[in-house]
């Protein structure tokens, strides 16, 4: 890839990460009744497409962390923290 192509990929990756953090913020603002977890897939797909499975797995890990933080801050609707983590990781 030439320098310009690499720059475009870097910009897409940066945009995907910004999108993921933005989704986490909106997920927090939406409250516990509505979860925007499916929107994280867009960022994961962009990173996976451009950087491969390892980077996609790392992005998925970041999504899990963000979902867990949002769940902890908004208060999850589960009777136990264990059920919240099971739902997050499944």
pLDDT beneath 70, residues of the chain = 1-3, 76, 88-90
Burial category of 34 from C-beta neighbours within 10 Å (exposed 0-12, middle 13-18, buried 19 and up): exposed
State how far the Cα of 16 lies from the Cα of 9, in Å rounded to an integer.
10
Its pTM stands at 0.73
State residue 21's pLDDT score: 92
State how far the Cα of 7 lies from the Cα of 79, in Å rounded to an integer.
47
Task: Return the domain boundaries, the chain.
Answer: 3-89
State residue 6's pLDDT score: 81
State how far the Cα of 5 lies from the Cα of 17, in Å rounded to an integer.
19
State residue 26's pLDDT score: 92
Q: What is the pLDDT of residues 30-53, one digit of tens each?
A: 887 777 888 889 889 988 998 899
């Amino acid at each position: 890839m030439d320098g310009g192509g690499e720059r475009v990929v870097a910009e897409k990756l940066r945009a995907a990460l910004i999108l993921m953090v933005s989704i986490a913020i909106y997920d927090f603002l939406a409250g516990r009744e509505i979860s925007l977890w499916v929107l994280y897939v867009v960022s994961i797909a962009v990173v996976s497409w451009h950087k491969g499975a390892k980077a996609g797995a790392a992005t998925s890990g970041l999504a899990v962390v963000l979902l867990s933080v949002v769940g902890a801050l908004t208060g999850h609707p589960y009777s136990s923290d264990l059920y919240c983590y099971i739902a997050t990781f499944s």
